[in-house]
Amino acid sequence: MEALYCKQMTEDLFHNDETRWEVFVTLEGKVGTRWYLWVTRSASVIYYCIDPSRSTAVPGAHFAGLQSERAIIVCDRYSAYKKLARLSDAIILAFCWAHVRRDFLNAAISFKNLEPWALQFKELIGQLYHLNGLRLEHYNPHYSIADQSEQFKAHHEAVKKCLQSMLDIAHNEVSINEQENKEAGRKKLSLAGVQSSSEKQKIKVYRSLVNHWDGLTLFLENPLVPLDNNIAENSIRTPVNGRKSYYGSGSIWSAHFAAESFSILQTIALHKLNPRHWLDDYLQACAKNKGKPPTNINSFLPWKMSPERRDFLSRPKPT
């Protein structure tokens, strides 16, 4: 786990998410059994930790060892990540367009009259994904945005135009609401002047879009940043499915052991190694070392393995 952590802290693009995890123990000062399983995924490592808290302190402690001067975390709009970015000059947040899409669709579900409006924005977001996909087909990571091919630049401008159209619409609605608040003498932004509940919801969605705009458009100048947080959500899906079957952990040590097991085995799978073969080989090494972990674990770390060993462990164990 220490080796995984040290490797991950040398990287600069992360995907983060968290989910509830039941730990059936009684802790002084804590009500209930709800803990949280956090995941941080980078190019080389998928790292989990379990904690009774869902506060900023958890990702704050994880990224305390960050070695990069600038790191991007792709995440949802949870306040813990926002506070983390405010506290660290090295961390920048990239927000998720899938969550924005959900805002519009949820508004349409709540208010039938908002359905045409929500579906229009759903189409715009779909167009954004399509145009960005075309842009990435011509992206060369070895060159800056200014030095990319003409095909890339053409799709890049199309993406910018699509984004600007959405921002103009949202800005217009938010500005009208802010002007109404100003004329009414309200010091804080309010929806008090909006008559219908559906219009209040509409402005609320627009205001969230405008407030998170910088994080939502970070991908524009950083093409390797995805438009959504699906990578982290997909990583945490297997533990979530497990939780639904066995409900969580019966003790604190087993909860931490679960997080460590998820970390090691998913990282092994990330590098396209055979987890069963890798684990069998590791336990055999422990047995040869009289039941203790091998002194040197380099041969078990994907980024330090020789190509021959990587090929060997990528296949099922010979029988």
**pLDDT digits 0-9 by tens, 63-81:** 999 999 999 999 999 999 9
Segment 167-186 mean pLDDT: 79
Confirm if 15 and 229 have CB atoms less than 8 A apart: yes
- Percentage of residues in the chain having pLDDT higher than 90: 89
Confidence tier at 9 by pLDDT (50, 70, 90): very high
What average pLDDT does the chain have?
A: 94
Q: What is the Cα–Cα distance from 160 to 288, expressed in whole angstroms?
A: 59
Specify the higher pLDDT residue, 175 or 140. 140
Query: CA neighbours within 13 Å on the CB side: how many for 165?
Result: 12
User: Which of 66, 76, 73 has its CA nearest to residue 13?
Assistant: 73
Closest C-alpha among 105, 99, 46 to residue 76: 99
d(CA 140, CA 223) in angstroms, rounded, equals: 9
Dist. CA 170–CA 253, nearest whole Å: 49
pLDDT at 6 over 90: yes
Binned at pLDDT 50, 70 and 90, residue 230 comes out as very high
Place of tokens 């367009």: 97
CB atoms near residue 263 (< 10 Å): 21
Provide the token pair at 134.
Answer: 């075309």
Tell me how far the alpha carbon of residue 317 is from its chain's centroid: 34
Q: How far apart are CA 238 and CA 241, in angstroms?
A: 5
Q: Which helix (H) or strand (E) element contains residue 286?
A: helix 275-288
Residue 14 phi/psi, 5-degree rounding, is -130, 155
Report the CATH number of the 2-95+230-265 domain.
3.30.420
- Strand-pairing partners, residue 72, are 13, 92
Distance CA 33, CA 309 (A): 43
The pLDDT tens digits for 93-138 are 999 999 999 999 999 999 999 999 999 999 999 999 999 999 999 9
> Residue 144 pLDDT more than 90?
yes
The pLDDT-based confidence of 183 (bands split at 50, 70, 90) is low
Average pLDDT over residues 31-56: 97
Domain boundaries, the chain: 2-95+230-265, 97-214, 274-314
- Predicted TM-score (pTM) of the model is 0.93
Q: Sheet of 91-94: strands edge to edge?
A: 46-51, 34-41, 13-22, 71-74, 91-94
Beta-strand relationship, 71-74 and 46-51: unpaired
Beta strands (DSSP E) in the chain are 13-22, 34-41, 46-51, 71-74, 91-94
Kindly report the backbone phi and psi dihedral angles of residue 316, in degrees, each rounded to the nearest multiple of 5, phi listed first.
-55, 150
